[in-house]
Amino acid sequence: MKSDSQLKADVLAELLWEPALRSGEIHVNAHDGVITLHGQVEHYADKFAAERAVQRVDGVKAIAEELKVSYTGVQQLTDTEIAESVVKSLKWHVWVPDSVQATIEDGWVTIRGEVHWGFQRQSAEDAVRYLIGVKGVSNNITLKPELQALLVKEAIEKSLHRNSEIDAKDVRITASEGKVTLAGSVHSWDERRQAYAAAWNAPGVTSVENHLSVTN
């Protein structure tokens, strides 16, 4: 097991290695595998990039993300300007249906509506996450279930076993009325993320709780 100082050094090195992070001021604390990120960045997308970078580091068990978005200069946009960009981005994304709507308050985007697939819900969030001026995103889009729980569970299990990059033997799945829970353990953050994505890909899934632990 890595010491706190070694894990912190590895996380800092990975943050420097991430090409999307070229601005802002990120500080790192490490304690028993838990990484805390604090400081400020210029874009909401930077927060996402920082979190993904930390997940790549071996030995990280959990992440407390306390970064704040602080826009400066020409990037200080009004909510009206942000709303115009959000509307266009949602409209031009081929996987986002017309049922999705957005509201903006002090740079924070809230998306709502009803869709049938998890990838549509995630696509709407991706469409607005990287826009200039956005300080955060609340994804309140709901999914309308279309399949029975047993069929959903079987579909996810088959998907996990087909994926050569996921060791699914220690993954447990429960499904009820469109709600899926993943429990057990995997060997990396990437496996954990892929299992979560596989669960969302099943038709009829309305929510996914990812309780998978990472055993390095």
Contact between 170 and 185 (Cβ < 8 Å): yes
Instruction: Tell me the pLDDT band of 140, cut-offs 50, 70 and 90.
Output: very high
Least confident interval from 20-24, 43-47, 54-58, 121-125: 20-24
- Beta-carbon contacts of 203 under 8 Å, excluding residues fewer than 6 positions away, are 116, 117, 146, 147, 152, 155
Q: What is the mean pLDDT of residues 130-147?
A: 85
pLDDT digits (tens, 9 = 90+) for 9-45: 999 999 999 988 876 689 999 999 999 999 988 888 8
Which among 95, 43, 97, 51 has a CA at the least distance from the CA of 72?
43
3-state secondary structure of 79: helix
Q: Compare 59 and 216 and report the one with higher pLDDT.
A: 59
Domains of the chain: 4-69 (3.30.1340.30), 74-143 (3.30.1340.30), 149-214 (3.30.1340.30)
* Per-residue pLDDT reduced to its tens digit, 172-200: 888 887 788 999 988 888 888 888 888 88
- Contact at 8 Å (CB) between 171 and 160? yes
Element (H, E) at 210: strand 207-210
Please state, for a pLDDT cut of 90, what percent of the chain lies above it: 51
Comparing C-alpha atoms, which of 105, 135, 97, 122 is closest to residue 196?
122
Q: Is the pLDDT of residue 216 over 80?
A: no
How many Cα neighbours within 13 Å face the side chain of 195? 30
- Predicted confidence at residue 147, as pLDDT, reads 56
Does position 167 have pLDDT exceeding 90, yes or no?
Answer: no
Q: What is the mean pLDDT of residues 189-213?
A: 86
| pLDDT score, position 53 | 93
Query: Tokens 């996810």 — which residue?
Result: 156
**First-last CA distance in the chain:** 9
